[in-house]
Amino acid sequence: MSREAVKVGDKAPDFELYKPDGSIFRLYDALKENNVVLYFYPKDNTRGCTKQACEFRDQYEVFREHGAEVVGISGDSTDSHQRFGDSHHLPFVLLSDKGGTVRSLFKVPRTLGLIPGRVTYIIDKKGIVQYIFNSLTKPLEHVNKALEVLKSLQEKQKVEA
């Protein structure tokens, strides 16, 4: 596989990761039902990551209305994700990418070479990346931008149907 990062217009790499309940999440299975808002974040229970997760939570029904499922990924353990999700009442799945395999597949950059990046991808039902937003310091913008893109994507999909 190429060393380039995933770009808009690329087919998203398929992957499987464990959910906190021990079951397997497979990207292409999720895409059979919905567009997917896939967001990589640095760490559970940190200020920016908690703000971002809670904003996705607060807007979750709007994402669902726009035909999308939200999926968060970090290197934290499934136990950490379970506690984080429970304590903030997150209605979407958090996946454990312990070795950073999926982060590597997508070539999510690190900040200062140390901090795992915060990048959001919108992937349509055909598996095509429609939008990418990369900002470690603007966690709430990930949610707002994703909603804007999904609204226009939903309109486009209605026209094509």
State the catalytic residues.
49
76 within 8 A of 83, measured Cβ to Cβ:
no
- β pairing state of 68-74 and 93-96: parallel
What are the two backbone dihedrals, phi and then psi, of residue 13, each rounded to the nearest 5 degrees?
-65, 135
What are the two backbone dihedrals, phi and then psi, of residue 41, each rounded to the nearest 5 degrees?
-140, 155
